[in-house]
Amino acid sequence: MDRSKDYELIENLGSGNFGTVSKERNRRTNEIVAIKTIKKIIDKSAYNEIYILKELTHDNIIRYVDHYSNKNGLAIVMEYADRGTMYDNRMNMSLRSKIMATSENSMWVLLNHLSSALSYLHEKGIMHCDLKPDNILCFPPKDQVFHFKLADFGIAQKLVNSRTRIKFYKNNVIGNHEYMAPEVLRVGRYTKSADMWSVGAIACFWYNGEPLFKDCNEVLHWKGGVQLLPRPPTYYSTKELKSVLDKLLIPKEGSFLRRADAKSILAITTAKENIKTGWGYLEWMLLLAAVALMSLLIFLKIKKWK
């Protein structure tokens, strides 16, 4: 049933091969929503995202609102993320925002949000298969840390047995190569473990402001070890954080199932006392440096007066 008249267009947010995304207002409830319109509906697989979203209720997953069809295609109505995508936020940050967003505390919050969402999905036997900064949406932060939610389940896959990690889905390689696990690039093998590789790659992007790997060759030729990455996490990250990334970024063919699963990463991040929006190590170092510089300037000025 066509319910497009229930919504008033506010702004076009973007377009691609699949269709368009727009910001709209529900005329009856005044709720601001995002509507993804898929132009070409070839078969029932176009409804895959709807089937999956309708059964999901989680604080770190975008909320499904409604769907309808009309002459323009299939429209999926979802909650609107007023802070945009992770990618846009990271690439357009001010210096101060970069310092706060990439603090140790913020990194733990990011890993906590992503692992919480994936633990929920994987328990239901759902693999996202296309995790990347463009598909993570940002909501108003508590103090300095964004609230992150997974979005875009267009190529997500559901396993028959929700508790089996070995089951996999084979297809042509789909998704974004910069955040794709090595085994997916090699043989198109999707597992829950492949989602976890993407979490590690996304965390490094948030840390450094650029993709962990620039092309498929870098992914396939890397032998492992966070400190040997082409673009490793910056020096002020703790050994504990690097250890978590090491557990996620295991590249060797045949051993990818040894990667940490979502539940274990969730347990680590939840146990961290600094899953809160306080200042991290870098912020305190910068504050101390600023105080030292100010003290030096005052001292020089007093000396000049004498």
Residues with catalytic function: 130
Nearest to 221 by CA among 198, 253, 267, 266: 253
Distances (CA, A) of 221 to 212, 215, 247, 251: 13, 11, 18, 9
Q: Phi first, then psi: give them for residue 274, nearest 5 degrees.
A: -95, 25
Nearest to 78 by CA among 114, 31, 146: 31
159: how many CB neighbours lie within 10 A of its CB? 20
Q: Phi first, then psi: give them for residue 61, nearest 5 degrees.
A: -130, 135
Task: Evaluate whether 42 touches 178 at the Cβ level (below 8 Å).
Answer: no
Q: How far apart are CA 121 and CA 162, in angstroms?
A: 9
In the chain, the largest separation of any two C-alpha atoms, in whole Å, equals 84
Helix axes 192-208, 104-123, angle to 10 degrees: 160
- CB burial class (10 A; 0-12, 13-18, 19+) of residue 244? buried
